Amino acid sequence: MSYLLIGNISALICEENIEPLANARIRIYLPSQNYGVEELARGIFKDLRRLSERDVQAKADHLLAESMLDERGNFSIAWEDLHLFTEPLEMDICLNSVPGKHAGQQEWVQFHLSTFVPHWKRSKDKYLGAFAYVVPADKWAGIRREFGAWVIAGSVKHADTLHGLSSLRVEAYNALNDKLLAACQTTEAGRYRLYFSRKDISGSLLHVLKNGNDIFSDGPDVYFRVLDGNRLIWQEDKDTALQPERQQLKHCTKLNLFIQPAPVEKKPVRLSGWLNDLIQNSRSKPHYKDRYVVY
């Protein structure tokens, strides 16, 4: 009898935005310790508690199976009948990158996620189970910080109607050096998501001077511009970056933009050819008669 566990693992950026743990590695272990019945009944989630290299090596002999998550955070992992279906399993996730991290991957980092007993259903010659989990935003922000990666998510809405504005280019700038951090297009619902890394901010740690003291800022102070194609339709004053919600952005940040798009400048229609001549000549009756009227 074999086992097949399918599911999805994603992370919360904010209450309206979720991103998958794309291309992460999932590992399933037999438990290395005994758990009480009540603990297993409610599930034991560790919210991606980082494991040391020693911890990983200590449980290596208990590894049942491992697999990769796809671009959407989905996984399918199978193993042979090496344990009872009533036994608990330990689930770990390994990451070597997150969306927004600068090119170049680091070594794999392993986190313990959960210890649980799947609800197995028997189907012919196998047991089938499912698992899904969304990492809380504060935990995910901490992991993003380890990788030096930021994400800003939100919506671009009309300031009067509050309707989401689609197909617009959103640009975020670092107020310290006016450098473009990231840009993207809004969706049909007006939502956007911007990714950038520490290297996009300054090439290294962001060093700033505030109140006469040298400090290392956790994130940049930002201001925005919005374009429709190549036409700038809305922009913020750089001083907007001094607002509390725009300073030293957290690694998972939600910012909605309420904009009043600049009106499109209407240009007079320019006609050419015989129709233009006819209109121009009609403004001068003598000239018009001289050319088109026979007495």
Domains and CATH numbers, the chain: 2-144 (2.60.130), 148-259 (2.60.40.10)
Strand ranges (DSSP E) for 96-240? 109-116, 121-123, 126-135, 149-158, 169-174, 179-185, 191-197, 207-210, 213-216, 222-228, 231-235
Q: How far apart are CA 151 and CA 132, in angstroms?
A: 23
Q: What phi and psi, each to the nearest 5 degrees, are found at residue 176?
A: -70, -40
Exposed/middle/buried for 212, CB within 10 Å: 0-12, 13-18, 19+? Answer: exposed
Exposed/middle/buried for 14, CB within 10 Å: 0-12, 13-18, 19+? Answer: middle
Residue 16 has a pLDDT of: 81
Q: How far apart are CA 295 and CA 291, in angstroms?
A: 11
Residue 233 has a pLDDT of: 96
Q: How far apart are CA 202 and CA 208, in angstroms?
A: 11
Q: How far apart are CA 14 and CA 254, in angstroms?
A: 6
User: CB–CB of 158/165 below 8 Å?
Assistant: yes
Segments of the chain with pLDDT less than 70: 34-44, 82-84, 102-105, 203-217, 264-295
Nearest to 167 by CA among 228, 255, 257, 233: 228
Burial 57-68 (b: 16+ CB within 10 A, else e): eebeeeebbeee
Residue 124 has a pLDDT of: 80
Q: Both tokens of residue 22?
A: 């794309």
Residue 289 has a pLDDT of: 37
Residue 230 has a pLDDT of: 94
Exposed/middle/buried for 143, CB within 10 Å: 0-12, 13-18, 19+? Answer: buried
Residue 231 identity: R
Q: Both tokens of residue 166?
A: 């689609």
Q: How far apart are CA 94 and CA 285, in angstroms?
A: 84
Q: How many CA atoms lie within 13 A of 79 on its CB side?
A: 18
- C-alpha distances (whole Å) from 72 to each of 8, 19, 125, 192 are 8, 8, 28, 18
Q: What phi and psi, each to the nearest 5 degrees, are found at residue 266?
A: -85, 130
DSSP 3-state of 80: coil
Nearest to 238 by CA among 156, 194, 173, 153: 173
Residue 9 has a pLDDT of: 95
